[in-house]
Amino acid sequence: MKRFEQMLLIGSFIAFSWLAMQAVHELGHVLGAYATGGTVSKVVLHPLTISRTDIGRNPHPLIFVWAGPLVGAVLPVLVFLAAKLCRSPGFYLFRFFAGFCLITNGAYIAMGSFHTAMDAGDMLRHGSPQWTLLLLGALTIPAGLCLWHKIGPHFGLGSARGKVNRSAVVVSASLCAAIVVIEAVFGSRW
């Protein structure tokens, strides 16, 4: 039973983290658009697609495009720090999510700097030097890995030998189910 709970915790929290990371990333694009007087035509968040924000008027394209990965990386870290400060139970879930967002946003932009597609392509086309995209990855990926350091036992790895907190399993599975349902029902309507 403990290995089932461990796999449920790990699987559901990785799935939740992927979908929630996309939502926070797109929130960054939306905030960037509105902060610069732009308009958002549509935000697509669906569990079976890669998220995107379609913009209408875009007076400051670099701010719009950079806001996605920057907010997507920084906001989860701020939430993790608040959870840690408040001594929230299960703070390691916040820590994992913050690390996940740092790694995925950094890798997405750094690796994308070698292509002309998606956000990285827009950054390059609008004048960002490639080194700035690589710098984002060089800063965020190691920071994310540092956040992940030594949290394996909370997920039943190493010395924990599959033992996980049952409440964390319930929270993780519930969060995963909720975000899947919300995005499946409303994800293409925003």
CB 184 within 8 A of CB 24: no
What are the pLDDT digits (tens) for 127-160? 999 999 999 999 999 999 999 999 999 999 999 9
CB 102 within 8 A of CB 140: yes
Question: Mean of the per-residue pLDDT values for the chain?
Answer: 95
Residue 65: predicted pLDDT: 98
The Cα–Cα gap between 102 and 67 comes to 14
Residue 116: predicted pLDDT: 81
* CB atoms closer than 10 angstroms to residue 131: 10
The Cα–Cα gap between 83 and 101 comes to 16
Lowest mean per-residue pLDDT among 112-116, 154-158, 173-177, 184-188:
184-188
With CA atoms as reference, report the closest residue to 145 among 175, 94, 100, 188: 100
Residue 188: predicted pLDDT: 67
β-strand partners of 40: 55
The Cα–Cα gap between 12 and 163 comes to 16
